Structure 1
Amino acid sequence: MPEPTTEAQPQPQGQSQSESQSKRTKRFRAAKACRRCNEKRVKCDAIERGIPCTRCEQGKRNDCALIQSRRGIYQRKKNRNDSQTKTSGSEKEGDKEVVPCASSPPSQRAAASHDNNTVHVQTQDQQENTNSSRNSPNHLSEDEMHSFDALEQAPPSTALTTPASHEIASPGSGDTEMSNSSYREISWTTMFDHFLEGRKHGEAVIDKCSITYLGESFPLSIVLKDLRDGGKQKLHYPGPPCPENDASTDSSQRSRPDHMLPEDIAVLEAKGTFEAPEKSVLDALVSVFLDRVFPLYPIVNRHEFQQQHLMNKIPWILLHAMCFISATYCPLSILHRAGFSSRKQARFLFYRKSKALFDNGYEVNKLVVLQSVIFLTFWGGGPNNYWNFYSWIGTGVTIAETLGIHRSMATTNMKPQDRSLLKRIWWILIIRDTSCAALVGRPFRINLEQCDTDPLTAEDFEHDGNSPDFMSNPQRPSFANYQIQMSKLSLVLREIVNSRFSPQKPNTTSAVLHETLSGWRAQLPHNLRWSDNSTGMNIFSSTLAILYNHHLILTHLNRSQDGTSINSDDISQTAAQRISTMACKIVTKSDVLLMPHELFHGIFLAEVVFYTQMKSAQTMVREFSRAALNNCQMVLHESRESWDPSPWVMQLFDNLLRGAPDAENADMESPTGMAEYAMGATPGFLGAEEANFGYDPWQTHPMLSNLFEMPFDPALMGDGSMFPNLVNFPSVGVLQ
């Protein structure tokens, strides 16, 4: 059958132009490319200039031939939004198969519509997910949020495609140019061709978003002899350029990446991933991010992020991830203004949007994806949910190693601020990996024996620290030193965990580990030092103090004597009591939403110590242990919607305390007792009407009243032999 053409036919006399148009079918011939350009996914001019095309002529190839294409022989609808129904199958027209492509833009159709090669399937599950995801934030039910663990196990609700044209081609060695539409399907050959081509033009400045990393054992590194710079092998090279980001939050100006299929875009639109909070709410969340989150986790270039926000250019996945972490730290009033009924609801919605973009591969900038993934590590997940903080950390490590930021970039030709940013990102990954793995008893995801990233220095924070809007931030003077000390402390924690729980590592004595911790504390800068009896510590010194005592507990808890004079049990108990005291101060100062999440790990471990002490045969020991444990429970109660493990940690100790000794008080069994913690209620709190009549809920609660009423008289201890760890700790168990 001859191929249709678009040449104009002579119009019969006496026949109007409209009648003539109605009698003939409108068809348009699509531009063809030669087979080689089609495989390389690059523009071909064979139609305009004839065979061979310019690229084949430059490559001195004599096999230039046009492909057989049936694409473009029917007219598409002009506006995709005009189509209310989107079909996923194909319609038959005579003996030809015509795939209606929902009138998507030409750039998307070019990547998606290949007749006889693409099969679009929309399942019933996908339709249900699409319909349910149209709900506004106010319509997200509690059941939907509780069922998120089950939803996470389901495959992503994307169209199943088997496009032959999306198979990875093997381009020749001469061409490395590619279009944005092929970026997601970039082949290894294309990447290495770009690398080899770049070597011919000399060393170029490396973009932090696109890096080709070649490890020493990679055969290509071994073959090439000129990869050494000053005797040290080069590892980082410029990668294929990323497409320019145009993720404007203004829907009227927004464009879609060319690599996305129309049905994938439809699913993402149904999930609201292209909807940003209203401007006033978004501005407030960005302000919280810059003021509260950035000093704790500086994984973005502050000035660059602000410029993206002003221009509505923050990538969608990073925008929702930023809103997720800001909703974790922001005051509730901001979320109520946005229409959310709770912090949990807001966090769930932003997390779901960011994860949907991640699952569908919407963002191709690996650095943006890495930054977003680090924020998503603050999602707790569940025991049967494969996507939790541990899996997100593993994903982040994989992306980071792809960029090669686990290796030193000291001699890499890169802007200093970009090199510092990548170094900060890597060390924050180490901190998150170390603390989270130690919390749940899992292996570390980062193998430091394969890494040589340079330690953090004050210079790595100068560019962002000198930002004009950051000058007045109270955390600015200490945030750089805090990150440096946290990175050092994380290495100590790894040594502690490996010495105690690694089957392949030799046991290091508790005395040696204790000395290492003491040496770390002795060299702290002045603005991060603390006294065990001080009350005016900033959030950074408070966090370091709690983590220091957490590490002491982990070093000595249930540890046999090493033949030294150190009493491991006394040290563990004393460290736990100090954590309880500082935790109480955090609550009374309303600083819970300002603290790094690593702090709560220390509170969890302190509760373990107090629970073991409650089994003592001495009544005074049991009472003080219970009071100290209550202090820790109050902190977890305050963080129950921001730190995801808080509810199950509170419920865990609730269940343990039900069978603990000295349970004759029956407050553990009371419906107003510890069980209320897990339900999101404050134990002993009365209603608003009762409170107005002068009731003091803390004083009347049978369990928490001992925080105020229990006297602490060192004279009762005698020489301290009854409870030696409480001597010189007059504030333990008492709110200051």
Structure 2
Amino acid sequence: MSTVEHRRDLPENTRPSPAPSTAGSTGTSSVTVRTGPNGHMSFRRQRASRACEVRCDAASLGVPCTNCVAFSIECKIPTPKRKKNQAKKDAIGSSDEQEKKNQQPSPAEPSDAFGYRDNRMTTDGMPVTSLSESQAAQQASHNSAYAQFMKPKFARAPIKEAGRVAYLGESSNLSLLVQDRHGTTDVVHYPLPPNIRGSRARLTDLDNLELDILHQRGAFLLPPKPLCDELVEAYFKWVAPVVPIVNRSRFMRQYRDPKNPPSLLLLQAILLAGSRVCSNQQLMDANGSTTPAAMTFYKRAKALYDANYEDDRVTIVQALVLLGWYWEGPEDVTKNVFYWTRVAGVVAQGSGMHRSVETSQLSKPDKRLWKRVWWTLFTRDRSVAVALGRPIGINTDDSDVEMLTEDDFIEDEVDIVAEYPPDPVHVQFFLQYVKLCEIMGLVLSQQYSVASKSRRMNAMDLTHSDMALADWLQNCPKEVCWQRSRHHFWAALLHSNY
């Protein structure tokens, strides 16, 4: 092992901070970081269970390591041998251990193979049919929550959290009731009532089994800080220009702040995407591939997503887009870029990202971010459909989001100037990429759709497509216009799609 990875164990009522460890490389050992009652971190050094001819990556990527997964064996990092002066402490703690044993459920109580009592099952394995007092109160709260939409000032209430927005489509019954009560038809985005938490985002909301799964997947583990920094930097350098869905200034401000860290789901997804474009040797297997490392980050992010760990809907969409950076091949239909792009689009439409937010109560920075996220989903939808021969999922007739402008890439907050101003080349690249994807959709509809096969090929359609492409090329800005005499990566990437 050449790196270390850390785990921070916190009280159950505290959300684990995704701030990376500051530990450096320490040969073949790994370090477990624990936070004590006094708030200080203690470090415990561990060694791998056995030597491997192939370099073990448990320290950098977590347990299970790639080797043990490949050979289907249990991956363990044994605890250090007990020191002599520890015997006295163990003797003192024996009474506490005995007391804990006495508190364990008796064999007669229903429990699963892990020893967890599942309060949602009866002794015969059937799900319970009655709610607890707290569950009943929570359900009653949810049932009455949408009544808040009927309050007079609710339609024009400011939306303080962009990830907590309720979307009411025009044809929904609730939308008709709200319009009838308020006499307004132009509002489709509303602040989500405070007593509705679409998902769960705190450890206290996860049961023991879910927590165990997250720990087994290493969802709370991060690479050491130098490697983590390199992965984040690689993401913003090579991936973000293609999918400008994350406000870099805001993310980096949180990334450097252990008291207000970024979403752990989003961070693991960024590490996944970053691992695909990072050349650090610590991420590579014996064949020089980063696929095993990417798979580890993918499993961590997916475990957090499956556990409903995050409740910010914008963050969920961002993470879903980035999960598409890992896939096993064209034959895989449940973990590829097409699958995750389609899921991200569905979640985004559920939050109303396909609708214009210009008249909404979102803040200006959030309006810009929403537009970038939606048009990123549009480009992914079209480019993946072309590359894999799949049908498109986004119908432009259902969307009224305005076209992106250079102003939409500004990351200034209401009272904070952005640390990272937009790169003119990156901005022009994405603006032209969106226009090119519009033409892709036109070509797919006219020449490759099932409906087009049932009608005769129209020469006018082909001429229209050719003219659109020629017009795009003629008006392509010089910053991203590729020329053989002055090769530029982003210009070359854009024209390879052309």
Provide the TM-score with structure 1 as the length reference. 0.47
Pick from 217, 229, 240 the counterpart of residue 271 of structure 1.
217
State the identity %: 24
1:370-423 per-position Cα deviation (integer Å, ceiling 9, x unaligned):
111100122233414422211111110111011100011111111111111111
Kindly provide the amino acid, as one letter, of the partner of residue 217 in structure 1. S
1:28-57 per-position Cα deviation (integer Å, ceiling 9, x unaligned):
xxxxxxxxxxxxxxxxxxxxxxxxxxxxxx
Pick from 205, 220, 226 the counterpart of residue 259 of structure 1.
205
Which residue in the other structure is 2:303 paired with?
Answer: 356
Whether 1:541 and 2:485 are equivalent positions in the alignment is no
Which residue in the other structure is 1:490 paired with?
Answer: 437
Which residue in the other structure is 1:236 paired with?
Answer: 189
Kindly provide the amino acid, as one letter, of the partner of residue 452 in structure 1. D
Assess if the C-alpha contact under 8 Å between 1:195 and 1:238 holds in 2.
no
The alpha-carbon distance between structure 1 residues 278 and 500, as it changes in their structure 2 partners (threshold 3 A), is: same
1:140-182 per-position Cα deviation (integer Å, ceiling 9, x unaligned):
xxxxxxxxxxxxxxxxxxxx975743899887xxxxxx6xxx8
Whether 1:291 and 2:245 are equivalent positions in the alignment is no
Whether 1:378 and 2:325 are equivalent positions in the alignment is yes
2:203 is paired with a residue whose SS is coil
Assess if the C-alpha contact under 8 Å between 1:170 and 1:190 holds in 2.
no
1:640-674 per-position Cα deviation (integer Å, ceiling 9, x unaligned):
xxxxxxxxxxxxxxxxxxxxxxxxxxxxxxxxxxx
Assess if the C-alpha contact under 8 Å between 2:405 and 2:431 holds in 1.
yes
1:237 is paired with a residue whose SS is strand
Assess if the C-alpha contact under 8 Å between 2:249 and 2:419 holds in 1.
no
1:257-283 per-position Cα deviation (integer Å, ceiling 9, x unaligned):
332111110111011111111122112
Kindly provide the amino acid, as one letter, of the partner of residue 262 in structure 1. N
1:329-351 per-position Cα deviation (integer Å, ceiling 9, x unaligned):
11233525x99964111111111
More divergent stretch after superposition (483-492 vs 507-516): 507-516
The alpha-carbon distance between structure 1 residues 317 and 170, as it changes in their structure 2 partners (threshold 3 A), is: same
Which residue in the other structure is 1:203 paired with?
Answer: 157
In 1, distance between residues paired with 2:222 and 2:124? 29
The alpha-carbon distance between structure 1 residues 517 and 86, as it changes in their structure 2 partners (threshold 3 A), is: farther
Kindly provide the amino acid, as one letter, of the partner of residue 246 in structure 2. V
In 2, distance between residues paired with 1:410 and 1:214? 16
Shift of 1:84: 10
Kindly provide the amino acid, as one letter, of the partner of residue 347 in structure 2. I
Which residue in the other structure is 1:501 paired with?
Answer: 448
In 2, distance between residues paired with 1:509 and 1:440? 23
The alpha-carbon distance between structure 1 residues 528 and 100, as it changes in their structure 2 partners (threshold 3 A), is: closer
Whether 1:440 and 2:388 are equivalent positions in the alignment is yes
Aligned residues: 390
2:341 is paired with a residue whose SS is helix
Assess if the C-alpha contact under 8 Å between 2:198 and 2:311 holds in 1.
no
1:165 is paired with a residue whose SS is coil
In 2, distance between residues paired with 1:301 and 1:402? 21
1:180-215 per-position Cα deviation (integer Å, ceiling 9, x unaligned):
xx8xx984x355234335745952235210111011
Q: Which has the larger radius of gyration?
A: 1
Which residue in the other structure is 1:516 paired with?
Answer: 468
In 1, distance between residues paired with 2:121 and 2:134? 15
Shift of 1:119: 5.2
Pick from 136, 147, 160 the counterpart of residue 193 of structure 1.
147
Which residue in the other structure is 1:528 paired with?
Answer: 480
The alpha-carbon distance between structure 1 residues 201 and 470, as it changes in their structure 2 partners (threshold 3 A), is: closer
Kindly provide the amino acid, as one letter, of the partner of residue 395 in structure 1. V
In 2, distance between residues paired with 1:520 and 1:86? 72
In 2, distance between residues paired with 1:316 and 1:349? 15
2:276 is paired with a residue whose SS is helix
Assess if the C-alpha contact under 8 Å between 2:199 and 2:309 holds in 1.
no
Kindly provide the amino acid, as one letter, of the partner of residue 470 in structure 2. S
In 1, distance between residues paired with 2:401 and 2:180? 24
Shift of 1:367: 1.6
More divergent stretch after superposition (359-368 vs 487-496): 359-368
1:397 is paired with a residue whose SS is helix
Shift of 1:494: 0.4
The alpha-carbon distance between structure 1 residues 410 and 86, as it changes in their structure 2 partners (threshold 3 A), is: farther
Whether 1:306 and 2:252 are equivalent positions in the alignment is yes
Assess if the C-alpha contact under 8 Å between 1:208 and 1:418 holds in 2.
yes
Structural mapping, 1:460-609, within 5 Å: 460-463=408-411, 469-470=419-420, 476-504=423-451, 507=458, 509-531=461-483, 534-548=484-498
In 2, distance between residues paired with 1:481 and 1:538? 13
Whether 1:219 and 2:173 are equivalent positions in the alignment is yes
Assess if the C-alpha contact under 8 Å between 1:205 and 1:414 holds in 2.
yes
Kindly provide the amino acid, as one letter, of the partner of residue 302 in structure 1. R
The alpha-carbon distance between structure 1 residues 168 and 481, as it changes in their structure 2 partners (threshold 3 A), is: farther
The alpha-carbon distance between structure 1 residues 345 and 427, as it changes in their structure 2 partners (threshold 3 A), is: same
Kindly provide the amino acid, as one letter, of the partner of residue 387 in structure 2. L
Assess if the C-alpha contact under 8 Å between 1:286 and 1:326 holds in 2.
yes
The alpha-carbon distance between structure 1 residues 260 and 332, as it changes in their structure 2 partners (threshold 3 A), is: same
Which residue in the other structure is 2:17 paired with?
Answer: none
The alpha-carbon distance between structure 1 residues 330 and 407, as it changes in their structure 2 partners (threshold 3 A), is: same
1:211-259 per-position Cα deviation (integer Å, ceiling 9, x unaligned):
1101111122223325565xx5211000134879998xxxxxxxx4332
Assess if the C-alpha contact under 8 Å between 1:216 and 1:233 holds in 2.
no
Shift of 1:547: 1.4
The Cα RMSD (Å) is 4.0
The alpha-carbon distance between structure 1 residues 226 and 325, as it changes in their structure 2 partners (threshold 3 A), is: same
More divergent stretch after superposition (202-211 vs 476-485): 202-211
Assess if the C-alpha contact under 8 Å between 1:332 and 1:343 holds in 2.
no
Kindly provide the amino acid, as one letter, of the partner of residue 303 in structure 1. S
Shift of 1:99: 7.2
Structural mapping, 1:20-59, within 5 Å: none
1:286-313 per-position Cα deviation (integer Å, ceiling 9, x unaligned):
2222333222321111122112211242
Which residue in the other structure is 1:315 paired with?
Answer: 263
The alpha-carbon distance between structure 1 residues 538 and 196, as it changes in their structure 2 partners (threshold 3 A), is: farther
The alpha-carbon distance between structure 1 residues 384 and 323, as it changes in their structure 2 partners (threshold 3 A), is: closer
Pick from 331, 352, 360 the counterpart of residue 404 of structure 1.
352
The alpha-carbon distance between structure 1 residues 535 and 234, as it changes in their structure 2 partners (threshold 3 A), is: same
2:411 is paired with a residue whose SS is helix
Assess if the C-alpha contact under 8 Å between 1:486 and 1:544 holds in 2.
yes
Assess if the C-alpha contact under 8 Å between 1:431 and 1:487 holds in 2.
yes
Higher RCO, 1 or 2 (CA under 8 Å, sep at least 6)? 2
Structural mapping, 1:659-674, within 5 Å: none
